[in-house]
Structure 1
């Protein structure tokens, strides 16, 4: 099982809010995971991955100049 996460776009350094958002959870057909929250702290994600025996994958942010552009 893999859990894909990314940093939130509108979060600033030093703010006491959850910094990450789950983008996708990929696993076997029989694996069922229900996520109730939309934003997570890093330690929460690490605990979730540990309990599910899942790999945590941090997605790279898109450069500002690429926002809104479609690649062909």
Structure 2
């Protein structure tokens, strides 16, 4: 199982708000594990605890450069 997350764009440094947004969750069919995510914004420690309990891996998506926003390949 993988949990794909990215950093939120509108959270500044030093602000006490969750920094990460869950983008997608995958699950292997043969394992039949399912994870339903209720929230949208999480702190890093919260994500790590969820992943550890669910046996999942966290994938941190890289930020897209400003010049390539809105352009599809």
Alignment of 1:1-72 (within 5 A): 1-29=1-29, 30-71=32-73
Moved over 2 A (4+): none
Provide the aligned length of Structure 1 versus Structure 2. Answer: 71
In structure 2, what is the Cα distance between the partners aligned to 1:2 and 1:43?
16
Unaligned runs of 5+ in 1: none
Unaligned runs of 5+ in 2: none
The normalised TM-score by structure 2 is: 0.90
Describe the superposition over 1:23-54 as per-residue Cα deviations: whole angstroms up to 9, x where unpaired: 11111232221111000000000000000111
For residue 10 of structure 1, report the CA deviation from its aligned partner. Answer: 1.3
